[in-house]
């Protein structure tokens, strides 16, 4: 009984030490960081497993007005005209060539859908691990960028999903009518998931440009000078990563060009604001060997951080 009570008190003390109320600055030793990482990783894996179970069950069962996940995945294939797919005039079904192929496909699609649906849970665990080491301003920017990145990825994936039927219809017209299209389940699912991933990741381009501009790596004038070359690179990139049809290539390249122009205008306004600030504070009038007129007073160990985000302290690893 004594050992059990001691263990409970030890676990309770660790939870109390990790809580924001008892540890407002989030300082931890190296061992505590490892334990915290293990705990957050365990919760994230549980969220992924739960999402995979939900996705696996959703594959064959509809949720109210929402169709089954299997219907959503096969919809681009079923949109191909019946005379272009096999069996002609029959049901829209994929081909299983090896045992357990359908089971593995259902598991793969279920895990992918579950990871997307339960992304707030496992992303929160990642955020909860790194947030104690950030200032309040850094947390605000990080949350903003994560939210925008999620929306951009979802927009790219949706565009790929709506373009997939047109891409498949064009691809199945090759062969002068000597071939009947009957995709195997594994090849088709890999094609659809890859297309969704490629479009989703490609839509993160404007966010990357804005981040590089915020930290001073690139400026609007530089991007404006490189505009034609960047547009050409985007078209070449779209030609390599999309299937061999002009529809999806032009769709991806056009969307990237629009997003690039939007990010370019955002960098333009940011650089204008930064230039006005530099002119107001007189930084542009300084010589190259003249120090900037910073007024900075170091804080003591017990003082709060000026950003109000975290307190300074003697931490082994922060």
Write out pLDDT tens, residues 158-169: 888 888 888 887
Cα–Cα distance measured from residue 318 to residue 313, given in angstroms and rounded to the nearest whole number: 9
Give burial (CB, 10 Å; 0-12/13-18/19+) of 273.
Answer: exposed
Task: Report residue 197's pLDDT band, with 50, 70 and 90 as the boundaries.
Answer: confident
**Domain-located, residue 8:** no
**Domain-located, residue 301:** no
Flag whether pLDDT at 154 surpasses 60: yes
Question: What pLDDT is recorded for position 54?
Answer: 92
- Of 139, 125, 122, 118, nearest in space to 36 by CA: 125
**Domain-located, residue 233:** yes
Is residue 85 within 8 Å of residue 92, measured between CB atoms?
yes
Cα–Cα distance measured from residue 233 to residue 223, given in angstroms and rounded to the nearest whole number: 13
- Of 268, 270, 242, nearest in space to 255 by CA: 242
Question: What pLDDT is recorded for position 310?
Answer: 44
**Domain-located, residue 134:** yes
**Domain-located, residue 306:** no
Question: What pLDDT is recorded for position 201?
Answer: 87
What whole-number percentage of the chain has pLDDT above 70? 74
- Mean per-residue pLDDT for 8-14? 52
Question: What pLDDT is recorded for position 87?
Answer: 67
More confident residue, 244 or 68: 68
Q: What tens digit of pLDDT does each residue of 23-39 get?
A: 555 566 778 878 888 99
Task: Report residue 287's pLDDT band, with 50, 70 and 90 as the boundaries.
Answer: low
**Domain-located, residue 80:** yes
Our count of domains for the chain comes to: 1
Per the structure, the complete domain to which residue 219 belongs is given by 30-281
**Domain-located, residue 199:** yes
- Mean per-residue pLDDT for 199-226? 86
Cα–Cα distance measured from residue 297 to residue 275, given in angstroms and rounded to the nearest whole number: 26
**Domain-located, residue 47:** yes
pTM of the model: 0.70
């Amino acid at each position: 009984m004594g050992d059990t009570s001691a263990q409970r008190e030890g676990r309770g003390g660790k939870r109390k030490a990790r809580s924001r109320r008892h540890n407002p600055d989030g300082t931890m030793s190296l061992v505590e960081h490892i334990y915290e990482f293990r705990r957050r990783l365990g919760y994230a894996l549980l969220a992924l497993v739960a999402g995979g179970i939900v996705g696996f069950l959703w594959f064959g069962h509809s949720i109210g007005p929402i169709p089954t996940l299997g219907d959503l995945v096969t919809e681009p294939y079923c949109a191909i005209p019946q005379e272009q797919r096999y069996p002609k005039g029959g049901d829209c079904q994929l081909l299983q060539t090896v045992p357990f192929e359908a089971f593995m496909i259902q598991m793969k699609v279920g895990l992918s859908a579950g990871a997307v649906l339960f992304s707030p849970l496992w992303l929160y665990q990642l955020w909860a691990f790194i947030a104690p080491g950030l200032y309040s301003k850094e947390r605000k920017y990080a949350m903003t960028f994560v939210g925008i990145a999620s929306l951009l990825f979802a927009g790219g994936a949706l565009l790929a999903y709506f373009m997939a039927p047109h891409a498949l219809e064009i691809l199945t017209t090759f062969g002068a009518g000597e071939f009947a299209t009957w995709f195997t389940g594994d090849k088709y699912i890999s094609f659809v998931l890859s297309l969704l991933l490629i479009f989703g990741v490609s839509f993160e381009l404007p966010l990357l440009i804005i981040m590089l501009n915020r930290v001073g790596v690139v400026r609007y004038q530089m991007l404006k000078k490189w505009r034609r070359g960047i547009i050409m690179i985007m078209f070449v990139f779209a030609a390599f990563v999309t299937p061999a049809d002009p529809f999806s290539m032009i769709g991806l390249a056009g969307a990237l060009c629009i997003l690039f122009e939007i990010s370019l205008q955002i960098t333009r306004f940011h650089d204008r604001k930064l230039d006005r600030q530099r002119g107001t504070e007189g930084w542009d009038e300084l010589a190259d060997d003249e120090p900037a007129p910073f007024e900075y007073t170091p804080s003591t160990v017990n003082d709060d951080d000026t950003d109000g985000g975290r307190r300074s302290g003697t931490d082994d690893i922060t």
